Amino acid sequence: MANSALFRSMAFRLLIIGIAFFALDTPSYAAAGIDAVTITTGKQGAQTYSVTIQILALMTLLTVLPALLLTMTSFTRIMIVLSLLRTALGTGQAPSNQVLLGLSMFLTIFIMMPVFDKVNTEAVQPYLEEKIDVTAALEKASEPFRQFMLKQTRESDLELFIRISGNAELDSAENVPFSLLLPAFVTSELKTAFQIGFLIFLPFLIIDLVVASVLMSMGMMMLSPMIISLPFKIMLFVLADGWSLIMEMLAASFYVS
């Protein structure tokens, strides 16, 4: 029962966050409630039913909610780094994509938990207790994510999208809308992920070069260096406690940024 309540609470938080991305600047969502079905009575007494535009927009939003959550959190950086690590090891599909996705998701929850707790304290709980309306809840829910994304976004990337959009009048980062902040944040995450991936690749690349040089000097040119270097790379990774180092480095890259 405790786990069920936790998952329901988390799902509500994520729904509030996703709706906030589009709803803050949309007056139609500021109403106290949204009618799901409109009933129209004709002259002959016949009734017709139609779905309101607000419900249609909400259902459309739910389809893009997973993409919004993945790009507004630490998931992108973590998933790319783990994929590059697997490529550097040369282990093919081990760990599998499902394992990497699960590991990335739970590590994302661990890293983002301070943000989720702040959203729950300042927005979700006051809204459930009817102390604030939905508009105020959306504004308060979006603020922790804005602060997190601004902290991880490079100024050059933010200035790039501001310049492209033509919003040169924005005088501070606090006034940047989500439509500009989100692509700048994702761009910065991609840059950071590939920088980390480059550093991870270096020791494994050295092992490949050493093994290839030894095989060439022995005249064993028909033997693939990958077959010989793979056990050495796995041994190096295990002896260095690689998984713990990678997890610690990924978590620290967000906390100390």
CB 40 within 8 A of CB 192: no
Predicted pLDDT at 172:
66
CB 156 within 8 A of CB 192: no
Predicted pLDDT at 169:
65
**Is the dihedral angle over the CA atoms 173, 154, 177, 170 positive or is it negative?**
positive
Judge residue 109's burial from the number of C-beta atoms within 10 Å of its C-beta, 0-12 exposed, 13-18 middle, 19 or more buried. Answer: middle
The most confident of 67-71, 151-155, 198-202, 215-219, by mean pLDDT: 198-202
pLDDT above 80 for 48: no
pLDDT above 60 for 30: no
For the stretch 153-210, pLDDT in tens is 888 888 888 788 776 666 666 677 777 888 888 899 999 999 998 998 888 888 888 8
pLDDT above 80 for 104: yes
pLDDT above 50 for 3: no
